[in-house]
Amino acid sequence: MPVFFVCAGLLGLLAVSLSVSVGRLRMQKKIYLGDGGDPEMLSAIRAHGNFMEYVPLCLALIYFASDYYGYWPVAIASLVLLISRVLHAGGLLGFIPLGRTIGATGTTIVLAAASAMCVYAGFTLKQF
C-alpha cells in the first residue's frame, strides 16, 4: 500500500501544479474568468479540469480494491494512473507529444480495471 500513498501524494502535487499553472496564466494574460478565447488558457483549464474529473474517482476505486486484491494490483494501478496523468497533462500543455492520447488511454484503462475489481470484490465478499 505504500506505493498507493506515494502516488496519491504525487498526484495531489500535480493537481497543485496544474492549479498554479491556471492561476499564473490568468494573471499573465489578464483573463480572470473563462478562457478569454486564448488557446493556451483553454489548454491549461482543461488539463486541470480533466485531472479533477478523473483522478479522485480512480484513487477512490483503487483504494477500495486494496483490501481485497493486495499490494501488486494496487501498486500497478497507482503507478499507471500517475504516469498516465503526467503524460496527459504534459500532452495537453504541449510538452509531451502524444501524451494526451497515451495518458487518456491509461487513465481509462485504470478506471475500467479498478471499477471491475470493485464490482468483482463486491459480489464475492462475504457479509458478517
Residues 57-78 have pLDDT tens digits of 999 999 999 989 989 999 999 9
What's the chain's length in residues? 128
Query: Strands, DSSP E only, in 26-105?
Result: none
Domain 2-124 part of CATH 1.10.10.10: no
List all residues 6 or more positions away from 98 whose beta carbon is below 8 Å from its beta carbon. Answer: 91
Note the pLDDT of residue 1: 64
Contacts of 66 (CB under 8 A, 6+ apart): 1, 4, 74
The domain spans of the chain are 2-124
Please check whether residue 25 is in contact with residue 44, taking contact to mean a CB–CB distance below 8 angstroms: yes
Span 2-57, pLDDT tens digits: 999 999 999 999 999 999 999 999 999 999 999 999 999 999 999 999 999 999 99
pTM: 0.91
